[in-house]
Amino acid sequence: MELSNTTQYAIRMLSYIANSHGKLQNAKELSTILTIPYKFLTKILTQLVKSEFIISIRGREGGYKLAKPASEIMVLDILNQFGDIVKENQCILGIGTCDSENKCSLHDQWVIPKEMMIKMFAQTSLENLEGDEFKI
């Protein structure tokens, strides 16, 4: 019941990149600042480039910056990209997919917190995560 390391890292990286408002950030610095293993971090950054959350500038003086406004990148998009799914119709007990006609025993208790969580992830953008008062 928690986000995967990869997803956590991705959110923190994107969050930090968003907070630098267009100034290029390079992998080496990101690695030391966020204390994420360098090689693992670059792997994730490349995925983030391919999935068009960020753009990369190669070569000396290169780095990464957001590919679109922070307000347009939702946390839910990040979760989805890394398969850390919070799908509407996914059974919390793993009994296939579900609808309210064919529900598992936890359905009635789970449906409200689930909706709440999904809604929160869907409505929260990187812009909402900005601020200097947070742990990074």
Partner DNA sequence: TCTTAATACTACCTTTTAGTAGTATTTAAT
Partner DNA sequence: ATTAAATACTACTAAAAGGTAGTATTAAGA
Binding site for a second copy (CB under 8 A): 1-3, 5, 8-9, 11-12, 15, 75, 79, 84-86, 90-96, 98, 102-107, 109-110, 112-113, 116-117, 120, 124, 128-131, 133-136
Rounded least distance, CB 112 to a second copy, Å: 7
Lay out the site mask for ligand SF4 across 95-114 (x = CB under 6 A, - = otherwise): ---x----xx-xx--xx---
* CB contact burial 18-48 (16+ within 10 A = b; e otherwise): bbeeeeebebeebbeeeebeeeebeebbeeb
CB-based contacts of 43: which residues, under 8 Å, 6+ apart? Answer: none
- Look at residue 88 and give its three-state secondary structure: coil
Rounded least distance, CB 93 to DNA, Å: 13
By beta-carbon proximity to ligand SF4, the closer residue of 52 and 115 is 115
How far is 45 from 10, CA to CA, in rounded Å? 8
The answer to whether 77 and 130 are in contact (CB under 8 A) is no
Instruction: Give contact residues for DNA (rule: CB under 7 A).
Output: 4-6, 9, 26-28, 37-40, 42-43, 45-46, 49-50, 56-64, 83
Stretch that binds ligand SF4, among 3-11, 14-22, 36-44, 87-95 (CB under 6 A): 87-95
How far is 75 from 121, CA to CA, in rounded Å? 5
Chain positions contacting ligand SF4, by CB under 6 A: 91-93, 98, 103-104, 106-107, 110-111
